[in-house]
Homo-oligomer: A and B are copies of this chain.
Amino acid sequence: MTAASYAAVDWGTSSFRLWIVSESGEVLAERRSGEGMTTAAKTGFSGILESHLQAVSAPPHLPVIICGMAGARQGWVEAGYLDTPAPLSGIVKAAVTVPDANRDIRILPGLAQRSEEMPDVMRGEETQLLGAISRLGSGSHLVCMPGTHSKWVRVTGGIVDGFSTFMTGELFDVISKHSILSHAVADGGAFDGNDPVFLGAVAKAAKNPALATNLVFTVRSGQLLHGLTAPAAKARLSGTLIGLEIAGALSTAKAGSSVCLVASGSLAALYQSALSALDLNPVTIDADEAVRHGLAAAANAIWPA
């Protein structure tokens, strides 16, 4: 059997993912759980990590490289932020070591944009970017990383010039659950990115972003006056928020930037469809692969063979 070289962990707010990686870069084992920072802050980071390492019979001294919220102030050990403009390779040098651990555990920092006008932070996405950078090539790129807090990153030749967070995913969630629209979207099955209601909402919000919170209300009025179904209500809400996000992100881009989408699964399909509807044809990079590649790049730099 190939020997394990290191463990790689993507530790988000509400998710934990671990891969055991061989010297040749092969994934020997994988673990996924909902023990994100929120849980770990209560029950202990070390215990969760060791239980997953034990579950895959990891050697006692296997080193561990971690990205994400484990490095937040309210996480395990604060890993701070690298300030933009920042070379992506800099995050490896700024990794912090977990003190008093039985093995070598490093946590990668996030990125901070300290502008008074447009302050912004990310944790975890910088490692995805590091993993995606070899696919981007030279020139200026606008990299879309959709999610609870979508990040749009302006990258030129391995340097992060700046970035913008849009609260799209979280707004979809709190509006669906806690606003008057909750009745309209309740029990609505899934919709897909080719749904004309979704694409129509993307186009409308991108064309006149100022009407965003009015378009959101048409989910309610559309239900009252036109019997808008629950899946269509969800599609309209999602499309409005995503169209608004894309219009905003484009307004921050350098002229001539190429658009790149770093995403996985249904979110990748949704954004691919929305971007295409707006005549943007992004290169798509799988986000799961990107974070593994980024953690591998960090591990290989910290523990060279």
B210 touches A251 (CB 8 A): yes
Say yes or no: is A214 at the interface (Cβ < 8 Å to chain B): yes
- A52 contacts chain B at the CB level, 8 A cutoff: no
CA–CA, A248 and B205, complex, Å? 11
Tell me the nearest residue of chain B to A83, going by C-beta: B225
Q: Which residues of B contact A225 (CB under 8 A)?
A: 112, 114, 119, 121
Binds B, one of A3-11, A127-135, A137-145, A170-178: A170-178
Known: A112-B225, A224-B119, A225-B112. A248 touches B217 (CB 8 A): no
Contact digits for A206-231, partner B, Cβ 8 Å, 1 yes 0 no: 00111111101110011011100000
Which of the 9-residue segments A19-27, A29-37, A159-167, A263-271 touches chain B? Answer: A159-167
Partner of A166, one of B113, B121, B213, B244: B213
In the complex, per-residue mask of A164-205: 1 if CB is within 8 Å of any chain B CB, else 0? 111110110011011110000000000000000000000000
Say yes or no: B180 contacts A178, CB within 8 Å.
no
Q: Quick one: copies of this chain in the complex?
A: 2
Is A210 within 8 A of B247, CB to CB?
yes
Interface residues on A, range: 35 or more
- Inside 8 A of A279's CB, which chain B residues have their CB? none
CB pair B179–A177 under 8 Å, yes or no, is no
Question: Whole-angstrom distance between the alpha carbons of A149 and B220 in the complex?
Answer: 11
Q: Which of A208, A214, A248 has the most CB of B within 10 A?
A: A214
**A245 contacts B170, CB within 8 Å?**
no
Tell me, rounded to whole Å, the shortest Cβ–Cβ distance linking A226 to chain B: 6
Indicate whether A116 reaches chain B with its CB closer than 8 angstroms.
yes
| Cβ < 8 Å to B, chain A residues 273-301 | none
Q: How far is the CA of A213 from the CA of B241 in the complex (A)?
A: 8
Please tell me which one of the listed residues B118, B170, B226 contacts residue A180 in the complex, with CB atoms under 8 A apart.
B170
Q: How far is the CA of A251 from the CA of B215 in the complex (A)?
A: 13
Chain B residues with Cβ below 8 Å from A175 are 171, 174
Kindly report which residue of chain B lies nearest to residue A168, judged by CB atoms.
B213
Chain B: minimal CB distance from A158 (Å): 24
Contacts of A174 in B (CB 8 A): 174-175, 178-179
Q: Given the known A-B contacts A177-B178, A178-B177, A179-B170, are A213 and B245 also in contact in the complex, defined by CB atoms under 8 Å?
A: yes
> For A113, what are the chain B residues with a Cβ–Cβ distance below 8 Å?
221
Q: Cα distance A213–B165 when bound, in Å?
A: 8
Q: Is the CB of A167 within 8 A of B248?
A: no
A208/B119 in contact, CB under 8 A: no
Q: Known A-B contacts: A114-B225, A149-B217. Give 6 more (CB < 8 A).
A: A114-B226, A118-B218, A167-B213, A174-B178, A177-B178, A210-B250
Can you give 11 contacting A-B residue pairs, CB < 8 Å? A113-B221, A118-B214, A120-B217, A166-B214, A167-B180, A168-B213, A171-B179, A171-B216, A210-B247, A211-B251, A213-B248
